[in-house]
Chain A
Amino acid sequence: MGASRRSTALVVISTALVALWVILAAFPFLWTLWGSFKVQGDFFSRSDWMNALTGPLTQEQTGGAFTGQGYWGAWVESGFWRNVVNTGIVVVCTVVISLTLGTLGGYALARSGFRYAFWLLMIALVFRAMPHITLVSGYLLPFFEWNLWGHLPTAIIVLVAINQPFTLWMLHSFFLNIPKDLDESAMVDGCTRFQAFRHVIMPVMWPGVITTGLFSFLLAYNDFAVTAMLLSSENQTMVPRIASFLGSVQQEGNVMFAVAAVVSATAPLFVLILFFQRQIVSGLTAGAVKG
């Protein structure tokens, strides 16, 4: 398909479409990032939206073009740092446990030729479709009864379980790409199945594990339904905390605390895409392109 054969009009239209999409995708985040360093009167300015860019009220109230008031208020005054720490704990534990269980299970599913392996994958697909909040409604009463409610480990193990169907599918498709001869020859040389898995297969599986880990990370980091319902207020993670910010903050006129918290929670995701764009793209297509 030579580029010369394309009409100029088509190129212009399709480039314009892509440009429009990029603006739609990026502008809201850049706008909020910029605005989070202004005072509320500028970011929410009825008279002139340019105020959010130039910040006349910010100049007036704080003496500078930018202010860190929102961040100070959120992180220090409202104790958002504690939620950041909780999110860190939940996310790291969820990813590590999910990958440990998922690699074992995914490997077994990829290497078993029996019919039940296929049906397990189908059941996992059905489990993946379950709305998380319906599962939460199943947990709450038993967790209250057994005093499991409100603790970080409870949320972690629940997130691991919810993560499993997806993790199994993805790792299974990565394991299918590794030739069977590899582990079989290791076993001929006297390895047990587990030793072959541990010393021969895992070293070549790292790209797949990292990609799957990214998606486990996203699921745990972005979760709202599970963490909002299963964690007590002192153990809350970032996303439910931001949601509860909204109620309290609007009455006090501290919307900028919430804006700053939102930008703080977006920043790690931004960095993640920056470094792992290739893995994210390959992960999204892993399930689809290979069948």
Chain B
Amino acid sequence: MYELKTLLPQFDITLPTCMYELRNVSLSAGATPGPAAHQIQCSGAAEVESNNTKTGICALDLDILGRQIQHLLKNQDTTAVLERQEKVLKQLEELKAQLGQIRASLGVRVCGKTVQHTTAYHNGGLKEVPLHDVVVNGHPNFIPYALLALKNAWRDLYTIDVKTFTHSTMADIGPAAREFEANLAKVSVNPALPKINVTLIWKNCEHTEMISSPTMYVPIYGEVNIIRYLGRVGPTEYRYENSPLCNEIDAVLDICYQLLRCTTHKSQVAMVRLLDKRLQQQQYFGGDQMSVADIGVYSSLIRMPAITDKDLTPALLAWRKRAKLITKI
């Protein structure tokens, strides 16, 4: 056992009268906020140490607690110390629970840590902070079915919590959008899973657009790009940026983007042919695993009522059946 030496010489500091004392901000209000002990004895320090290893508590708090323990020790009041310790332990438990909650809400960051790091590396060290609260503006004539498809596909992995609103520029949203809303509401929410909050606003706007934070990021336009974003913040199984299929998936999503912009039936069918070429005899686009590319294609095809089963190849039809089992639209 040894005694720590104070860094400051033991002066009696006389405070000027123009200053006032700050209130003790520690959670354990009611404890005697006595003057800071100049000497830190080892026992107190050891206790702090042991606490410190249990959880990562804020240093400032411990400092104050340590001082309070010192103060009580000096008074030779062991029962009080015991009580205090009990209280401290209880507070630590509470803190642990709080941290647990935070961890749960940011689940992705914890479980997908490695992925995050590598993307950051690929981006040249840029720090990426996924946003868990986004707004999607969509026109009832161009329903973003991908949200529902992803919600269903990620049922057991990740929660997309969608709240729907109607903007004052839309007098009526129509039956299709209402049905879509009802279907969204049907998917059960598992509170244990990490989640993203999506506010879907039916609005008289030209493009489907996504706004994450007006002060930090520009809006993202197009349903396909929203899928890309969600694919980035969603479960690890659907992150594609580091997979060897990255280029393939991007190419498929780009075709979807073009498909949604086609106005004539002929050009739409041409795009479907391109998709068929990409799919060939695979189970899903880019391999035998469902990916965001499948979500993109599936939701785009729903938005194109002009494309009937006749326009689809047998391979695409078979794929559509497989995808339907997962997307459930």
**Do these two chains interact?**
no
